[in-house]
Amino acid sequence: MGGCAGSRRRLSDSEGEDTDPAPRPPLLDRQDAHWKNAVGFWLLGLCNNFSYVVMLSAAHDILSHQRAPRNQSHVDPDPTLTPHNSSSRFDCNSVSTAAVLLADILPTLIIKLLAPLGLHLLPYSPRVLTSGICAAGSFILVAFSHSVGTSLCGVVLASISSGLGEVTFLSLTAFYPRAVISWWSSGTGGAGLLGALSYLGLTQAGLSPQHTLLSMLGIPALLLASYFLLLTSPGLQDPGGEEEADTAARQPLINSAAAESKPGSSSHLSLQERWTVFKGLLWYIVPLVLVYFAEYFINQGLFELLFFRNTFLSHAQQYRWYQMLYQAGVFASRSSLRCCRIHHTWALALLQCVNLAFLLADVWLNFLPSIYLVFLIILYEGLLGGAAYVNTFHNIALETRDEHREFAMATACISDTLGISLSGLLALPLHDFLCHLS
């Protein structure tokens, strides 16, 4: 995908030439390209969302200033165990973890709002490089930060990386067989599980939050390698179905023509056409907004308040386990497209809103007797969220015309971000109200 502008010129120069169609590649070459693209999109999904997930898993630590000052040797070596408001039954931080959520999502929202206006038409390679650099910068900045403000700046970099990457790679799926959407979605679910589990495991094993974050710097490098060295050229691929993925281009993207040069790209769509496509997408966008609003209101508004004192887990450890179980559910359902497809995603939105109402009632009334019941509910919450994501984009890919698909995928990806942003804005005042009330 390097040299995007030049590749577009090369395509237009060659359109007038009378050339024979490229011969069908051997079956083994087609199978090799299929698996390269499948693994490539899975790794891109994994790497793209990894920093975003880690920042949310580290939210409690970030707001606890991550570690004790070096000159205070009497301070507990795990400062996340120290409550900020011991008089509250919720053991509240002075600031809700929704503050980290907003820093981790608002830049993504801005990027995705710009996508339908033309951001998705910019060359792919510079966008991927920018995404990788921002992800690496987020880990370094948060790791060496000594204040909440500086840490939140690092979280913003993670948000830019994740948002720019999601717009880029979902648009890119328009030039490949539709099966890559399932692989991308599974990879993003894997990022949730592996990101939360790695942060939980390394900190539980005794590694400090700083060294845990620095150990993850290989992820941005893997993202760049997956894009430039693993994916095959999309130039001549048919995005129809897996069985239709007979392609003639089999070289890595770094040496090939860019996806922007593929006939059927949405660069030629008029404003009227884009508005028409957008109106048709609302049937998919609105349910996904509701799903993500409900689940992230739970994750960043209620997780910290679902605190059980009668367990062997500290408050910080309980929060990390909540995040890990949620991401496990997301990974399982985002990887389930081959065995379970859901057309009516409105049902998933309704069930997620019921989850929110139930857990909000428990925070208020404190009627659940065991943390293990909360663990099960959170796992179920993740299953609903992951199923909504993968089925929404699969349905869009099936029901949009080829020339609209790139624009539709870039536009629809605003759904989850909009829902998450709204949940963060409402979770902040809820946190303050409940913590001061109790």
For 376-384, what is the mean pLDDT? 95
Query: Higher-confidence residue: 79 or 212?
Result: 212
Cβ neighbours of residue 423 closer than 8 Å, sequence gap 6 or more? 98, 101, 292, 293, 294, 295, 296, 297, 300, 301
Burial readout 46-81 (b: 16 or more C-beta within 10 A, e: otherwise):
bbbbbbbbbbbbbbbbbbbbbbbeeeeeeeeebbbe
The whole-angstrom separation of Cα 289 and Cα 304 is 23
Q: 53 is written with which tokens?
A: 């997930």
Compute the mean pLDDT over every residue in the chain, rounded to the nearest whole number.
79
**pLDDT higher than threshold 50 for residue 2:** no
Query: Higher-confidence residue: 120 or 85?
Result: 120
Looking at residue 291, its pLDDT comes to 96
For 106-127, what is the mean pLDDT? 82
Reported as a single tens digit per residue, the pLDDT across 273-319 is 888 988 989 999 999 999 999 998 998 788 888 888 888 888 878 88
Inter-CA distances, 195 with 50, 112, 233, 437, Å: 6, 23, 29, 34
Looking at residue 102, its pLDDT comes to 82
**pLDDT higher than threshold 80 for residue 242:** no
Looking at residue 258, its pLDDT comes to 42
> What confidence tier does 89 reach under pLDDT thresholds 50, 70, 90?
low
For 344-361, what is the mean pLDDT? 95
Cβ neighbours of residue 79 closer than 8 Å, sequence gap 6 or more? 64, 65, 66, 67, 68
The whole-angstrom separation of Cα 27 and Cα 146 is 56
The whole-angstrom separation of Cα 165 and Cα 162 is 5
**pLDDT higher than threshold 60 for residue 106:** yes
Looking at residue 9, its pLDDT comes to 35
DSSP letter string, 387-420 = HHHHHHHHHHHHHS-HHHHHHHHHHHTHHHHHHH
Q: 93 is written with which tokens?
A: 């931080």
- Which helix (H) or strand (E) segment holds residue 325: the answer is helix 315-334
The architecture that CATH gives domain 269-437 is Up-down Bundle (1.20)
Least confident interval from 8-22, 149-163, 340-354: 8-22
**pLDDT higher than threshold 50 for residue 328:** yes
DSSP letter string, 216-233 = TTHHHHHHHHIIIIISBP
Using DSSP's 3-state secondary structure scheme, residue 252 falls into strand
**pLDDT higher than threshold 70 for residue 206:** yes
> What confidence tier does 88 reach under pLDDT thresholds 50, 70, 90?
low
The whole-angstrom separation of Cα 43 and Cα 328 is 17
For tokens 């200033």, the residue is: 65
For tokens 């790679």, the residue is: 169
- Alpha helix stretches (DSSP H) within 17-97: 27-57, 59-63
**Would you mind telling me the total number of residues written for the chain in this entry?**
438
Looking at residue 266, its pLDDT comes to 55
Burial readout 331-344 (b: 16 or more C-beta within 10 A, e: otherwise):
bbbbbbbeeeebee
78 DSSP assignment: -
Whether the domain at 29-66+95-236 and the domain at 269-437 fall into the same CATH topology: yes
Looking at residue 193, its pLDDT comes to 85
> What confidence tier does 17 reach under pLDDT thresholds 50, 70, 90?
very low
**pLDDT higher than threshold 90 for residue 73:** no
Question: Which percentage of the chain shows pLDDT scores above 70?
Answer: 77
Q: Which of 16-20, 232-236, 243-247, 388-392 has maximum average pLDDT?
A: 388-392
Cβ neighbours of residue 50 closer than 8 Å, sequence gap 6 or more? 135, 191, 194, 195, 216, 219
Reported as a single tens digit per residue, the pLDDT across 47-70 is 999 998 888 778 767 776 544 443
Looking at residue 406, its pLDDT comes to 82
The whole-angstrom separation of Cα 218 and Cα 168 is 21
Looking at residue 25, its pLDDT comes to 54
**pLDDT higher than threshold 90 for residue 217:** yes
Looking at residue 96, its pLDDT comes to 63
The architecture that CATH gives domain 29-66+95-236 is Up-down Bundle (1.20)
CB 253 within 8 A of CB 246: no
Answering whether pTM is above 0.85, one says: no
For 419-438, what is the mean pLDDT? 82
Looking at residue 38, its pLDDT comes to 93
CB 249 within 8 A of CB 32: no
Question: Which percentage of the chain shows pLDDT scores above 90?
Answer: 32
**pLDDT higher than threshold 80 for residue 75:** no
Looking at residue 122, its pLDDT comes to 81
Domain residue limits, the chain: 29-66+95-236, 269-437
